[in-house]
A and B are shown apart, each in its own frame.
Chain A
Amino acid sequence: MAGIDHAPPPFFKRGPAPLALLTFYIAISLAVFVLDLRFRSLNLLRQSIALLVDPVQRVAQTPGSLVDYANNYLQGLQALQQENNALKHAQLNTAPNLQRLLQLEVENERLRKLLSVKEREKANGQVAQILYTARDPFSRKVIVDKGQQSGIVAGQPAIDEAGVVGQVTRVFPFSAEITLITDKDQAVPVQIVRSGQRSVVFGLGNGQLELRYMPANADVQEGDILVTSGLDGIYLPGFPVAKVINIERDSAYSFARIFCVPVAGVENFGEIMVLDPRQPLPPAPPESASRESGTDKMTVRQKNRAKKSN
């Protein structure tokens, strides 16, 4: 029978009572939960466990990547040739703009000097391969194959060939975790290309994004492209982020509900570019006392949220 134990039960050395142990472990778990979530002070513990877990996780991912590799290998000559032709075509299409880009950049630099405006920052970065999606079903994160070894730091933005993908949120010795822009409440400061209006776009968690705190009569249309505004000191200005697909203007609410989809292939696997951190912005001028009134509360809160998510 299964219930019978073979070793005699230890009569004298029994350790703490189960309920005491349960209380102990639950207290530790809750403490760790709060410390990690609110104060983010357990990064060292996480990194040291990750050092142990990460190689195992990579090994566990190999069957999947082998299947991918085999698929690629057996794709066939014709498909590859077609893709090659399409790529050549696309390259030719972008050639007129690209060939003049260098000249334009030099001209821009010269003109900016003439106007004594600060020079534009150049976007440099390093290419990283997405290893796998984090298993946590409550958030949208991916793990890439570059970490502290390659000089990645938390906060760096990540882009693909179409636009912004996300932001590095945690760095491990040999890998880094990128929170996608569609993660719930992940904020990106943006600007509408057509009207130049600035706002902040938030992830909704279901693959879409929402432009919050825009008045119901704001000049936004379906199909508008949102690009990074660069006001945050994290994202360089001008990278496409999202496209407006649906606007609900309800007079019962003071804000319009504006839904967008990401421009970049946020849910795709492949290579992404992790951009270098920006140079620090010049110090903000001191705020005048008279402007600190109720009307500015919203923007202050927005900024705080954007800052928090970074």
Chain B
Amino acid sequence: MQPTFSSSRILLPVRPWFIFLSLIAAVLLNFLPTAHWPAMPDWVALVLCFWSVREFRRVGMGWAFILGLLMDVADGSVLGQHCFAYVLLAYVSTAASRRLLWFPLAQQALQVMPLLLGAQLVQALMRLAVGAEFPGLTYFIGPLIGALLWIPATFILLLPQYQPVEQDPDRPI
């Protein structure tokens, strides 16, 4: 049973260290050599978006800014480029979080797609405005893949919050 709008499953409270760990793992995934393959999603954007939807009191624009700085330095891009995009992404996904979680997973993914695409588009516009080369349309396929990955990401990132199936019959929760 999965935590969808129709499910009655109640999740355990999230552990802060798990949020931290998943964000670090996303940064590591971005550092892998596979990041140069065409149409690879931005893992940090995906995980950041996920936590700002689920736990907007813990992960927000502050985290987005710090992760953005890290990615800027690691990418060798202009400082502030990822910061700007991630902060915007965190803000918009926090604003959308109350509505988003009422939809089934597939529809959530559909609604996350414009957010991820927007984060990528903002970066492209920032760089093109100051005279960089156009990276090609594959650059914009990454967010689409990222939106599809929203469904597995939900299962994986919520895994530690699922309660054991056999429950005490005396206690309803």
By a beta-carbon cutoff of 8 Å, the part of chain A in contact with chain B is: 1-7, 9, 18, 21-22, 25-26, 28-37, 42, 45-46, 49-50, 52-53, 56-57, 60-61, 63-64, 132-139, 141, 143, 170, 177, 184-185, 204-206
Minimum distance in angstroms from B107 CB to a CB of chain A: 14
Do B87 and A184 have beta carbons less than 8 Å apart? no
The residue from B3, B94, B132, B135 contacting A2, defined by CB atoms under 8 A apart: B3
Residue-wise interface mask of B (66-89) relative to A, using a CB-CB cutoff of 8 A (1 in contact, 0 not)? 001110011111111101100110
Do B133 and A49 have beta carbons less than 8 Å apart? no
Minimum distance in angstroms from B47 CB to a CB of chain A: 16
A3-B102, A26-B84, A138-B132 known; A49 vs B73 contact (CB < 8 Å):
yes
Do B98 and A61 have beta carbons less than 8 Å apart? no
**Contact sample, A vs B, 15 pairs, CB 8 Å cutoff:** A1-B5, A6-B13, A25-B83, A26-B88, A29-B84, A32-B80, A37-B78, A53-B74, A63-B32, A133-B36, A134-B75, A137-B136, A138-B77, A139-B76, A139-B133
Do A138 and B135 have beta carbons less than 8 Å apart? yes
Minimum distance in angstroms from B129 CB to a CB of chain A: 10
B61 within 8 A of A: yes
Do B77 and A25 have beta carbons less than 8 Å apart? no
Do B91 and A22 have beta carbons less than 8 Å apart? yes
Do A18 and B32 have beta carbons less than 8 Å apart? no
By a beta-carbon cutoff of 8 Å, the part of chain B in contact with chain A is: 3, 5, 7-11, 13, 27-28, 30-33, 35-36, 54, 57, 60-62, 64-65, 68-70, 73-81, 83-84, 87-88, 91, 94-95, 98, 101-102, 124, 126-127, 130-133, 135-136, 139
Do A1 and B3 have beta carbons less than 8 Å apart? yes
Q: Which of B5, B9, B74, B135 has the most CB of A within 10 A?
A: B74
Chain A residues with CB under 8 A of B88: 22, 26
The residue from B8, B61, B95 contacting A1, defined by CB atoms under 8 A apart: B8
Do A184 and B13 have beta carbons less than 8 Å apart? no
Chain A residues with CB under 8 A of B136: 137
Chain B residues with CB under 8 A of A50: 73
Name A32's closest neighbour in chain B (CB-CB). B80
Name B8's closest neighbour in chain A (CB-CB). A1
B contacts with A: majority SS: helix
Do A29 and B70 have beta carbons less than 8 Å apart? no
Chain B residues with CB under 8 A of A170: 76
Do A5 and B32 have beta carbons less than 8 Å apart? no
Q: Which of B88, B133, B136 has the most CB of A within 10 A?
A: B133
Chain A residues with CB under 8 A of B102: 3
Chain B residues with CB under 8 A of A64: 32-33
Chain A residues with CB under 8 A of B27: 56
Chain B residues with CB under 8 A of A57: 31, 74
